[in-house]
Structure 1
Amino acid sequence: MKRFLFLCSIAMAVIATPVFAADVGVSVTVGQPGFYGHIDIGNVPRPPQLIFPEPVIIHPVAVGVVLQPIYLHVPPGHEKHWGKHCQEYNACGQRVYFVHESWYNDEYVPHYQREHGRGKGHDKDRGKGHDKGEKGHGKDKD
């Protein structure tokens, strides 16, 4: 009986392992390849390459309300079926320009990383340890 229970427990562990392995999260933020969502064009040196020359809007807003258009980087095909996907981006009532994947990866990502990533003081103490270059702890820190 003990052997049967032991074999059952091993079988359950083998069956349950893929379930736990599927619970892996990946975080991608703006300015990284693979990010999809609203991007701030700001002072990007080259203008965005647009998929459509005119903005797309699914649900027009009330008369007299003027919203600035937004720029989105979306997975291939989302722009063609925008009415189906606009809620995922909270952009159904917005005028939306879709940027090309190549422009996002080749122009926007490097620009964003130069402006917001390393090199702008974010990792200035990297590699010095938690003491920031001091000579150590305690009374013998000559």
Structure 2
Amino acid sequence: MSKNWQSTLACLAIMSLPLSTQAADVGVSVRIGQPGFYGRIDIGGAPPPVLIMPEPLIIRRPPPNVRYAPIYLRVPPGHEKHWDKHCRRYNACGRPVYFVRDDWYEDTYVPHYRERHGPSGADNDRGPGKGHGRSHGKHGRD
């Protein structure tokens, strides 16, 4: 097989990958325990979360014989209000979801997480109280 043919096959193989696979290599530097993190939170031994809504939100009911434990999520402002548009991103459309408040995440969960996991997941460039989410009082989070 000629080198041109091999390089053509290699190009075709790369182009045939799903876009999500190609996009998955985009660098994401925010990890759990950092102020800009959004996603699932493992409450574990952390102090009880302060919630945006007292009841879990479920977009699609699971099948009758399936029961899921609720999950806790930190989401950007407004996502909980339009959860039907955002639940897929978190793989949580059929799950009961509790949304944690930003102030609880930053002031309670992050210090607890850092105590247990060390500062390696911390964003050391930000000083206290300068994390994402502090300016969203109009969303009922402060």
Q: TM-score range by the shorter chain?
A: 0.5 to 0.7
Q: Residue in 2 aligned with 1:8?
A: none
- Letter of the 1:52 counterpart: M
CA distance in 2, matches of 1:93, 1:26: 26
User: Could you give the per-residue CA deviations for residues 30-83 of structure 1, whole angstroms, max 9, x where no partner exists?
Assistant: 111110000000001x21000010000001100011110000000010000000
Provide the secondary structure at the position in 1 that maps to 2:98: strand
Q: Residue in 2 aligned with 1:94?
A: 95
Provide the secondary structure at the position in 1 that maps to 2:30: coil
CA distance in 2, matches of 1:91, 1:63: 17
Q: Residue in 2 aligned with 1:36?
A: 38
Q: Residue in 2 aligned with 1:49?
A: 50
CA distance in 2, matches of 1:57, 1:112: 27
Q: Which runs of 5+ in 1 are unaligned?
A: 1-23, 120-142
Q: Which has the higher contact order (CA 8 A, sep 6+)?
A: 2
Runs of 4+ in 1 over 4 A off after TM superposition: none
In terms of Rg, which structure is larger? 1
Matches within 5 A, 1:62-77: 62-77=63-78
Q: Residue in 2 aligned with 1:13?
A: none
Q: Residue in 1 aligned with 2:132?
A: none
Provide the secondary structure at the position in 2 that maps to 1:77: coil
* Count of aligned residue pairs for this structure pair: 95
Q: Percent identity?
A: 64
Per the TM alignment, residue 25 of structure 1 is displaced from its structure 2 partner at its CA by: 4.7
CA distance in 2, matches of 1:26, 1:47: 28
